[in-house]
Amino acid sequence: MSMIREAFKRLGRSAYVQKLRHVRRQAFSERYLLFTNVTISLTLSSVGDILEQQYERYAGYLDKWDRKRTVNMAISGVTVGVICHHWYKFLDQRMPGRTIKIVLQKVVLDQLICSPFYISMFFVTLGILENQSKDEIIAEIKNKAWRLYAAEWTVWPPAQIINFYFLPNRYRVFYDNLISLGYDVFTSKVKYQKP
Are residues 60 and 110 part of one domain?
yes
Our measurement of the distance from residue 155's CA atom to the centroid of its chain's CA atoms, rounded to an integer in Å, reads 12
| Domain that includes residue 151, residue range | 32-192
Are residues 116 and 53 part of one domain?
yes
Cβ contact 176:48 at 8 Å: no
- The number of folded domains in the chain is 2
What's the pLDDT at 1?
61
Are residues 76 and 22 part of one domain?
no
What's the pLDDT at 25?
86
Instruction: State the Cα–Cα distance between residues 66 and 188, nearest whole angstrom.
Output: 12
Instruction: State the Cα–Cα distance between residues 102 and 96, nearest whole angstrom.
Output: 8
Our measurement of the distance from residue 106's CA atom to the centroid of its chain's CA atoms, rounded to an integer in Å, reads 17
What's the pLDDT at 192?
80
Are residues 39 and 6 part of one domain?
no
What's the pLDDT at 181?
81
Positions of the chain with pLDDT under 50: none
pLDDT digits (tens, 9 = 90+) for 21-77: 888 888 898 899 999 999 999 999 999 999 989 988 998 888 999 999 999 999 999
Are residues 55 and 12 part of one domain?
no
What's the pLDDT at 183?
77
What's the pLDDT at 95?
95
